[in-house]
């Protein structure tokens, strides 16, 4: 009859665990062996008739623990959902040049805060600024870690303890419970709401400016629409009225479009260039949405205001790191060189015609010999262009248990994320990177 005394000791197991020691190190391997032995003893006490595992089985279970402990929870996935800027899947995949630029500064020392021409300390704030100045003809720019912190920094630097006017229709909430009124309050600004939810008139702004006001803020509603009985003045008219009263205008665009999305058959998304042309003093937008770069908050506008923002203590707390600065610069350079549609993945995805997508869907179908190619719709996502969609073609797979099949897709290496309707799984080639075709076909073959 088996007894717990028959179990090998940790030291005995270590003698046969050379491969684990080499792969995971001694301290972690010891933890895994002790945990496995503890689990074995617990099972045996519950059922003494249970046969004790061999040393090889114990080592195999310990290796399972080690693998689980050391496998990154953040990993690449294949996005076959048809949602281009899928917030849950990391938003914009990066261009090859952007990845190379980020890798270059991450794997080497860099001149992050070193002036190569003068041979002395420099500033990280200059990186990416020159590209923005050239492409957008702005006086100055600043990169921070995301657009929420960009807005917080701008308000903290320019309107602390002062009145900030904003339309009630723009008191929005974005993902994660982030609300514009809350960030304005956190900055120390005094929130002044004007108009109603559906009707905001220019006279509402004029009346608010009768009292001393630091700035007026416009927050672009990028993730929802207000339709029906509505009214809202254009940005250029708000700027005109504000500047007559020496009130600054800050435009929080959020989505950060530098290209007119209407050329892709979508609704027009307000662009950064339009905000500047309307006369906004400061414009803030995201780097990882319609811009197609790494997560960042980009602040552009008047040099005197940017200098004040850069000197604010909060600027250091929300500053971008070297990889972000390298990535944003490389992404912006694509726009400067007029190659965004060719080089930036999310712009390329938006530009694909339904026929181009159908060719890939049919290639998948031919390779698998199962399913069917059907018409469907892709969306932009990422809190951009609400209710807008693009015609596409998808591979439709009819399965007995969609939930089980989706789970198997998520457990694949790499995981595949698809969408489902009824008993049908839909996989949209529009959002699958072209070099992932072989992988997704291999995974589907194995599962089917």
Task: Assess contact for 441 and 367: CB atoms under 8 A.
Answer: yes
Reported residue count of the chain is: 448
Class for the domain spanning 94-341: alpha beta
Give the separation between CA 238 and CA 434, rounded to whole angstroms. Answer: 45
Residue in this structure with the two tokens 């008993």, named with its chain if needed = 423
Q: Can you give the pLDDT of all 448 residues of the chain as single tens digits?
A: 568 888 999 999 999 999 999 999 999 999 999 999 999 999 988 888 888 899 999 999 999 999 999 999 999 999 999 999 999 999 999 999 999 999 999 999 999 999 999 999 999 999 999 999 999 999 999 999 999 899 999 999 999 999 999 998 887 766 556 677 777 778 888 889 898 878 889 999 999 999 999 999 998 865 556 666 677 889 999 999 999 999 999 999 988 899 999 999 998 999 999 999 999 999 999 999 999 999 999 999 999 999 999 999 999 999 999 999 999 999 999 999 999 999 999 999 999 999 999 999 999 999 999 999 999 999 998 767 777 889 999 999 999 999 999 999 999 999 999 999 999 999 999 999 999 999 999 999 999 8
- pLDDT at residue 185, as a whole number: 77
Task: Assess contact for 433 and 345: CB atoms under 8 A.
Answer: yes
Domain ranges for the chain: 4-68, 78-87+346-447, 94-341
Please name the residues in contact with 341: beta carbons below 8 A apart, sequence gap of 6 or more: 259, 347, 348, 351
SS3 441: helix
Question: Measured in Å, how far apart are the chain's first and last C-alpha atoms?
Answer: 45
DSSP letters, 2-26, are --GGGSPPHHHHHHT-HHHHHHH-H
Give the separation between CA 121 and CA 133, rounded to whole angstroms. Answer: 23
Dihedral (CA of 110, 116, 119, 125) sign: negative
pTM: 0.90
What are the phi and psi torsion angles at 224 (to 5°)? -160, 165
Tell me how far the alpha carbon of residue 95 is from its chain's centroid. Answer: 14
Helices (H) and strands (E) in the chain — how many of each?
19, 16
Class for the domain spanning 78-87+346-447: alpha beta
């Amino acid at each position: 009859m088996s007894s717990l005394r028959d179990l090998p000791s940790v030291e005995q197991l270590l003698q046969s665990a050379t491969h684990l020691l080499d792969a995971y190190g001694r301290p972690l391997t010891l933890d895994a062996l002790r945990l496995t032995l503890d689990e074995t003893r617990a099972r045996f006490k519950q059922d003494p008739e249970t046969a004790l595992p061999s040393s090889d089985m114990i080592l195999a279970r310990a290796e399972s623990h080690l693998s689980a402990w050391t496998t990154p929870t953040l990993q690449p996935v294949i996005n076959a959902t048809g949602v281009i800027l899928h917030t849950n899947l990391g938003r914009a995949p990066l261009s090859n040049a952007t990845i190379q630029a980020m890798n270059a500064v991450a794997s080497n020392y860099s001149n992050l805060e070193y002036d190569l021409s003068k041979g002395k300390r420099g500033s990280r704030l200059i990186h990416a600024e020159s590209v923005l100045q050239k492409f957008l003809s702005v006086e100055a720019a600043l990169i921070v870690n995301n657009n929420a912190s960009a807005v917080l920094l701008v308000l903290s630097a320019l309107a602390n303890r002062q009145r900030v006017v904003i339309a009630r229709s723009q008191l929005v909430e974005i993902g994660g419970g982030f609300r514009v009124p809350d960030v304005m309050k956190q900055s120390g600004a005094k929130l002044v709401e004007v108009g109603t939810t559906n009707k905001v008139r220019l006279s509402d702004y004029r009346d608010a400016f009768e009292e001393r006001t630091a700035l007026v803020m416009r927050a672009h509603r990028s993730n929802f629409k207000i339709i029906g009985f509505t009214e809202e003045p254009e940005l250029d008219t708000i700027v005109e009225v504000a500047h007559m009263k020496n009130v600054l205008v800050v435009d929080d665009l959020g989505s950060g479009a530098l290209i007119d999305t209407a050329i892709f058959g979508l609704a027009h998304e307000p662009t950064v260039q339009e905000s500047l042309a309307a006369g906004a003093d400061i414009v803030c937008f995201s780097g990882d949405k319609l811009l197609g770069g790494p997560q960042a908050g980009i602040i552009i506008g008047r040099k005197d205001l940017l200098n004040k923002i850069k000197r604010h203590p909060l600027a250091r707390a929300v500053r971008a790191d070297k990889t972000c600065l390298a990535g944003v610069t490389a992404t912006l350079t694509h726009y400067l060189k007029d190659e965004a549609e060719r080089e930036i993945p999310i712009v390329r995805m938006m530009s694909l015609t339904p026929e181009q997508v159908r060719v890939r869907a049919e290639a998948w179908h031919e390779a698998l010999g199962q399913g069917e190619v059907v018409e469907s719709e892709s969306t932009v996502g990422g809190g951009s262009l609400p209710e807008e969609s693009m015609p596409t073609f998808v591979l439709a797979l009819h399965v007995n248990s969609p939930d089980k099949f989706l789970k198997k897709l998520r457990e694949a290496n790499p995981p595949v994320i698809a969408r489902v309707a009824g008993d049908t799984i839909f996989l949209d080639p529009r959002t699958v990177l072209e070099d992932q075709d072989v992988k997704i076909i291999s995974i589907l073959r194995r599962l089917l």
